[in-house]
Structure 1
Amino acid sequence: MQSAIKPLIRTIVFYVLSVFMVAAVLVAGTFAYDAIRDVIVSRGDLETLRRVQVDVASYRERQAGNLAERLGGATQQPLAAVDRRIGALARELRTNPAQGDFDPYALLRTGPARYAERLASHYETALTRELAAQELAYLQQVRAHLVMIEGRAAAQRELERLHRVHIAIDQAYRQKQLQVAQLGYLDQRRMEIKLLRGPVLNQLLSDVAARRMDEQRAAAACNAQKAALDRMEVPKQLVPFSLDAPALDRAVQPLDALVDELESAVTMHPVSRISGLLLQALPVAAGLLLIALAGKFGLRAFLYFVLAPLVTRRPPVRLDSPVPGQRSGPPEAVSASAASQTIRLRPHEELLVLPRYLQGTPVAAAKTTRWLLHGRPWTSLVSGMVLLTCVRTRTGEEPVVLSAGDGGVGELALVRVPPASALVFQPRALVGLVCDQGAPLLVEQHWRLASLHAWLTLQLRYFVIRGPVILILQGRRGVRVRQADGGHLIRQTATLGFSSDVAYSTRRSAPFLPYLQGQTDLFYDRFEGDHGIYVHDETTDATGKGGRVKRGLEGLTDGVLKVFGL
């Protein structure tokens, strides 16, 4: 039997729950609205406080500079001028006493238009008072210094006056003594007997005694003044005025604390934290979405079927044009690559090699350290050819042994570059060379910014070395030298060098599926020339040793270095 009460109860419950849901949504919306509004208002207040902080800092710097300039010549001012300034500063500090506790939020009641102005005025007044107090303290030191200087100067002047008086009295005394000395023999004998002197001699003797007493009194006064001057303290050099920066910082510390407090409140507010996380995540999310839309396979397909054919149809890169009849022959391998190589130097030759590749040398050989390649400091740095060992032998019969230092994986090869010939080389493969003693190496740098081959393979700069020279190259499992007949393609990572007059180009790898799976590179190198050669590794690290980290981080670094020919 169907009940009419259940539908009614369900309807009532539904509407009651709907009311509660609507109320909950309204309450949550109100809270969210209030929170967002608080953040917006707080950010506005924070920007206002920051502007006030900047204005106060500018005011402080300006007033401090004026004060330092004003007090720079304080010691040169008269004492009366210093006293007047001290009195004015004392009256100013009494008239404007230090303000007590200050509530910056109380200024909000004055309205937002005057809030920043009143707040800046308050802290500028505090800075003005602190600067006035510092000026008063320094001027008091200046006054004491000037008083000491003037007192000592007055004592010095009095000493000079007494000295002049003593000199005058002493001269009068000496004149009287001279009159006595000029008397005749009888008058001098009469001077010794009181009854025989007479009025004239008595007066002369009285004048001599009076002048002597005056001279003694003047000398005593002069000595007493000199002793008093010596007891007076010699004024020391007054230390130049310097601002008490911590005191100025304390004057505006409440403003800085208010800015920090409000900034922390805005930063830690849930709305700010959520919005900040969203803003940080949006670019990453957009990038991931873009990568997902483009797709790894779509990008590889575009590179393989669109860009690669364009590159292969472009003219090859040729660094030097072949000149018939003016070349001595292409570079050539001196010997097959091996784990070690033996070199016999001629008397006019020298070996420059990285020390770790030098296995054995004759006892009589001369070995020195060469910081850089002669005349090529930049090439030395980018190729790692620094702190080289220079070896010279007396005769061509003394062997020098070199060995590869790649844990048994690498091998060394000697490639001779004749005169009038040149070889493009990878600096990473060069471990040493044999050249004439003291002769600068002819190493050139060639940029190919207009070549599409260069841009898509990121090989924009090429290093070219010109003969005569013998290069010592290291390769993986060996180094092979081939004729550049255009009949072979090799991996770009295996290329170690090629003749400068060959045509260097790239060809698209085939088939497509290995490239799509990341097992092969997009381009292979191709070399064409009548007499040219190219040098490459016997093996390559095709799997990308190091996994995804190497391909992601080191691969990016290697790509950037490859642009500069490294």
Structure 2
Amino acid sequence: MSGVLSTSLRFLVRGALSFCLIVTVLLAGRYIVSEWRAFDAARRDLALLAGGEQHLGGERTQLKLASMARVKRLGQASAEALDAHIDALGKQITALSAKPEAQALSFGLPGSGQLMQGLVAKSRRMLEIELLSQERDYLVALRAAARAGVDRDAAMQALARLHAAHVAAYDALNDNLRAQSRIRVNSLWRSYLPGTVEFGMRDRLVQEEAELVRANNAAASAVALQQNALSIIGAPRASLQFIVNDARLDAAMGQLRGAISAGEAYASANWAGRMAESVREVAPTAGAILLSLMLVPVAIKVVFYYLLAPLAERLAPFYVDRHASGLLEIHAAGGRRATALGNSSAPSAVVTLREGDEMLIQSACIQSAAVTVASSTRWMLDWTNPFTCLAAGLFALTRIVSTQPAAIVVSPARDPLAEIALLTLPEGSSMVFQPRALVGVIHRLDQPLHMKRYWRLGSLHAWLTLQLRYLVFSGPVTLIVKGCRGVRVDAVDHGRVISQAATLGFSTSTAYSTSRCQTFLPYLLGRAPLLNDRFDGEVGFCVYEEALPADARKGVFGRGLEGLTDSVLKVFGV
């Protein structure tokens, strides 16, 4: 019963955690989508406002030129004509000012394009109103100059009257403000309590204040216009110039520019916008890197396939040691047969040690042995090549010496796909062999084993295959060889081509060269190597494994350090 409860509890906990995870993912996704939509809407609104500002810049120039042209035509007009034009300007200004205002803007809201268009239209109206106002003020001054030039005294008297009216309006406004201050000082809380006498007095004064402010501003504007007219009285009308005040035009467009600044601030503060901007900055570089990663390997393979590989095929082959005999004997079914061909391996092999034989083998490959054999540890297969032995795993070997004939069964027990073959090199024969495929050797006690090293730095074949050093085993010796799904031995027979990745060894008496793969597409797609090993000669053998293991060498273009390590080992023939 407790087990059922425990299982049910775990199921409920997992379900609750899964539910919380799903809710979290959905909320995060909704937040990310909303942020991106807000940024995208702000970006579109900014583009609309920026385009509107640019368009208004051109219209501003046209409106200025049109206004200056109209003023120029009225330069010598009569006072009555000026009055008529001033009245027309006033009506036009009133009509433009009566149009509805644009609504308040808020960036990040989808579908706010109409508000942005309304703001652009309002900015154009404000610009036009400002130009018309400047034009009207100039014409008013021009009309005043035309009239005041006849009666300066009347103009001075008019200025005095306007000034007195301004002073009276200003004093009335100050009286109102002082009366409000006295009410607040004497009855602060009652002045804000509805229903009290003080509240009614203060409310009446506040309403009067707005009217007094408008009257004061109108009186001040009239005084300024009259002063401007008096400043040009007596001057010839032809000398008066209409100069547009660009600062006031900039102020008329201030709301539009303020909205653009607010939109830019919002876009820069939005994390989705910052991320998009960062991606936009590095996207060209990333695209170039991606394109190079895609095209550079293809270009390199084209050069290798159509230039270097054909050049290598035309070069003469080289011999590692052409004076060796090239003979090879292969064990099969417990016996020995000379120059055997085909698959010469099995999951296990029986090794019969004679008196005076010494076997050096990896301990994991000994499946069974007679009780009469004596074993010890051999720390290195060949002390003259310690680094090669360490890289190939030929260290800490089991040394077996029998005083009488004994049978030992060897098998790569830890590798289910590997098979064992016994290759015997008679005296006078030698073979290039990769130590990575060796699991052990058998030799006479009085004839110790040595690996010879041959370098071929001057051969293009060696450089293209990235194998510059060749390790040679000389007979008499028996090589215990391991290969994936089996080991095959083929006679050269005047020429044989083998997949380079599968080659384990070849007789030193054969001529070695490279042969380009037949078709380009498999090489381009990585399904076939560029070069195959080619062997020529009358006497000699080549040894290769039936299939490539899963951990086959990846080369310099393989995965990270593993591929680099494989390439280095291949250079040294390991």
Query: Normalising to structure 1: TM-score of the pair?
Result: 0.49
Query: Normalising to structure 2: TM-score of the pair?
Result: 0.49
